[in-house]
Structure 1
Amino acid sequence: MHPHSPDESPAPRPAGSPRSIDPRRLRADDLRYLLAVSRTGRLVTAADALGVDHTTVSRRVAALEKSIGLRLIERGPDGWTLTEIGRAISDSARVIEEAIDRVVDTVEGQDSLSLHGTVRVSAPDGFGTAFATPALVRVRRHHPQLQVELITATRQLALRPSGFDLAVVIGVPAGSRLVTEHLTDYTLGLYACDDYLAKYGRPKSLAELREHPLIFYIESMLQVGDLDIERHLPGMTPAFSSTNVFAQLEATQQGAGIGVLPAFLTQRTQLRRLLPDEIDIRLPITLAVRREAVTHAAVRALWAALRQEVAERADELLLE
């Protein structure tokens, strides 16, 4: 359902004439609702973050659009995204939110550098659990007023990203709305449990590997080109597949076959590495931040924490 009702639709701008806006008609609080939608991409999620009903979010954004006379959000395949002018306004509105946070700090007598607000982070399930979570928790420990949301999914970023402030992705995403940084590389290899090897034997070559069931992602649902099994093991089709790397790990430990797994997830298991000289897959992990979120203090704090976590545990990611 579109959030704009007929009587609240923005008035069209006359062709060839600039729009004159009376600043007295703008409600600064409405900008907070626009900011919430820009971060979440969902009216209901934005409402939860603000502690209101989703119809209130819809109504307040529509009121802001009416005051400005321009459409600020639009429906996309992955939720609500901001229009070009909506992104510009949202970026400018962050100073209002930061000013409110400073007022709260002053009233509560807290450190003026304390971070507030909500930051949403997206990361692959394995890396998100093993590396992103400790980094985000460390920041939260120092900034208890900060709300951090972690979405774990192995996916590509949309060309018009929404629903996150900061994302960790496999590969190198494209998009003019993203500021990206190579975070690290990580290793994937072939692994099997002792019970499986005792029962079916250890493959000694790629030719012998084809006689064994493979465990990996569901090819038809995989959205990350760098993880395409055909690229790394041509001609092989997984016998057990899952969209969740922890399910793949568990299936490998249960003896369902040979898993193609990140090395950092196998270090606390009894799994055996197979054919390390023939199969040593190395993929890049990229940190991506929406341009309008780059200057946000909380986003930058989480960004730095992720860098630190990876730097301190680099040996786990590139296990030989």
Structure 2
Amino acid sequence: MDWDDLRIFLAVARADSLSGAGRRLGIDASTVGRRIARLEAGLGAKLFVKTPQGYALAPEGERLLPHAETAEQALSVAAEALSGPGDLSGQLRIGAPDGCANYLLPQVCARLCEAHPGLELQIVALPRMFSLSRREADMAIAVSQPQAGRLVVQRLTDYRLHLAGHDDYLAAHPPIRDRSDLRAHRMIGYIPDMIFDRELDYMTETGVDFAQLTSNSVSVQMQAIRAGAGLGIVHDFAIPFHPGVRRLLTDQVSLTRSFWLVRYADDRRSQRMNRLADALGQGIRAEVARLETQLATLEASAERRT
């Protein structure tokens, strides 16, 4: 058994298909299939079971998986030992909910790329949980702390959310003095059955039963608010990107949530991954603080003008 066979085995196990593994590896699906068949013949064991959904691990494959992952990690650590500390380099895929991916990670990653020219960063913005065991991402940012799996979880920072609306909408609709007034307004929020984390269930904070305009994307919700479609709960750090959007009822509707950095447990042995995690965490903390401070400055300036 050689490492190249194990590399292909891991790709199929993570992609659940020959074609998906081939795309990750840069080879065609038929080659992947032949290599898996050769590995199974050499081991005298069936590693995968073909299902309507793709390729699932057979019991023998389940037993092989942790050993293959250990070999992968050992090779990575060995490569780091030979290359030395130096600048951070190579590819890193970061999974994040789209609010973080749209409003924080572009600036954070830009600074990381500037500091480390050999670094290739990929931002995967998806409104759902990421599977690190399947290597959908090397690290993931979550809005709640995972409770299961072989993971390392680090709390990054708190962030704040408030009710907000655009000046054009507010000028054309009844005034908002307290939460009871919200029932006369159109609300924007998440599609209820697509809320993938309980920490994203904001609507109860408003006292309104439901939202008339909904999306599973934070960015779509914010664009709807900016277009004057209604009111919604938004991240404070997103507001500076949208002139005309302002916070409302800040003393009555105020939420605090946290970002968590989630990593695969075995990556703790990698100094490169540890350094990347530290740099990413510091960058996100600094960017949340910068944008929330900018929002406070903008609001103070607007207050002085009125």
Same fold, TM-score > 0.5, yes or no = yes
Q: Which residue of 1 aligns with 2:28?
A: 53
CA contact (8 A) 1:166 1:287 kept: yes
The alpha carbon displacement at 1:207 in A equals 0.8
**Which is richer in helix?**
2
CA distance in 1, matches of 2:39, 2:88: 27
Deviations 1:259-291 (A, max 9, x none): 211111102322121000000111111111112
Deviations 1:87-106 (A, max 9, x none): 33212223335656888x7x
C-alpha distance in structure 1 between counterparts of 2:121 and 2:21, whole Å: 14
Q: Distance in 2 between matches of 1:132 and 1:39?
A: 25
**Is 1:220 the counterpart of 2:199 in the alignment?**
no
Q: 2:74 aligned to 86, 91, 95, which one?
A: 95
Letter in 1 for 2:75: I
Distance 1:160 1:307, change over 3 A: closer
1:149 CA drift (Å): 2.6
| SS at 2:128 equivalent | coil
CA-atom RMSD in angstroms: 3.4
Provide TM-score, normalisation by structure 2: 0.79
Aligned to 2:244: 270
User: Could you tell me which amino acid in structure 2 is paired with residue 54 of structure 1?
Assistant: A
Partner in structure 2 of residue 310 of structure 1: 284
- What is the distance in 2 between the residues matched to 1:113 and 1:193? 47
Which SS does the other structure have where 2:104 is aligned?
helix
Looking at structure 2, the residues matched to 72 and 317 of structure 1 have their Cα atoms a distance apart, in angstroms, of 51
Give the residue type in structure 2 aligned to 1:83: E
Q: Aligned pair 1:301/2:275, yes or no?
A: yes
Q: 1-side partners of 2:56 and 2:292: how far apart? A: 35
* Residue matched to 2:128: 155
Task: Give the deviation of 1:310 after TM superposition.
Answer: 2.3
Residue segments in structure 1 that go unaligned for 5+ positions in a row: 1-25, 106-110
Structure 2: stretches of 5+ with no match in the other structure:
297-306
Q: Deviations over 1:129-170 (max 9, x none)?
A: 222233334444455555433211122356966522211011
Q: Which residue matches 2:177?
A: 204
Distance 1:294 1:42, change over 3 A: farther
TM-score with structure 1 length normalisation?
0.76
Matching residue of 1:279: 253
Percent pairwise identity: 28
Cα offsets for 1:16-75 (capped at 9, x unmatched): xxxxxxxxxx12222333454566666545433432113333443454454445666678
